[in-house]
Structure 1
Amino acid sequence: MPTPDALFAPAVGTPFPEMSVATSDGAVVSLRTILPADRAAVVFFMRTSRCPICRAHLRALQRMAEAGELGDAHVVIVVPGAPADARAVQRITTLQTVASTDAHSAVGLGRFLTLQHSGTFVLDPAQRVLARRTSALPTASFSRAEIRAALA
């Protein structure tokens, strides 16, 4: 039986939904405008700015990018909340970080009790979903192997 996120998250091969995000300096922009049109992208949705498991995934993405494992894919970290939440995460990474109050729900990442679901999406240059992994448990919302395979 599919998880609730799987019922609403964009399917592999479909366009990634449009959503507004706030940069760490407070500018509200379309996520599409910060994703380069000629490059693949990895978009990671954190559960919270302080989630230790999400921060571990963030560090893994940073290491993958620095090691060239992501090719020229652009990485964006989406934090639920306000620009201050994005700034808190931006202090620990060089990856682009944005915040949003509704981007998580735009990609089917709801809440279970008080837990915000998290997830990872790999997009092609046309912003179609190549791979996705979502979960109520942050340990299950990220896979290095799936990201590498989708970008291969």
Structure 2
Amino acid sequence: MNETEAVEYMEAVMSPSPVPVVVSEDTIVCKPSAAKKLKVSNVNEDSSSNSSNSDLMVAMKEMRTFLAAEIVESKKRMAANLRNIMREETAELRSDFEKKITELSKKLKSTEKAHDKDINNVKSDIGKLSGKVCEMERTISEEQSRKFLRTRLHAV
């Protein structure tokens, strides 16, 4: 490894990012493990370089573990976000529903008041009409009495 690669390697190791960093074409820094330097070119070499291959295998397992953990965390975050969105939507729907109920309740009360007013007006009209009917009956009765008396008086 030359000096430039070494500097890039150390920067990658010290980086706060948990994501694997490609330092060069054949060097990857895999995190969050102890930041191992991997020689990708060693994968196809013969069995004499088993330690490099085993380092690569360990790093790949760590990468799978890391990615699996990231996927789980991502799913948890998405589920939490979805729950929050559902809560917000439910709250909005509940608020809209309560507003509609309040509005309809007010309309119903005003309609009931209007009907009550109409009923009272009809009752008042019936009372007035029945008073007029009584007055007319009295008038008719008085006229019949006068007529009867006239006919009786003329007969006598």
TM category (shorter chain) comes to under 0.3
Structure with bigger RCO (C-alpha 8 Å, 6+ apart)? 1
Whose radius of gyration is greater, 1 or 2? 2
TM-score (norm 2): 0.19
TM-score (norm 1): 0.19
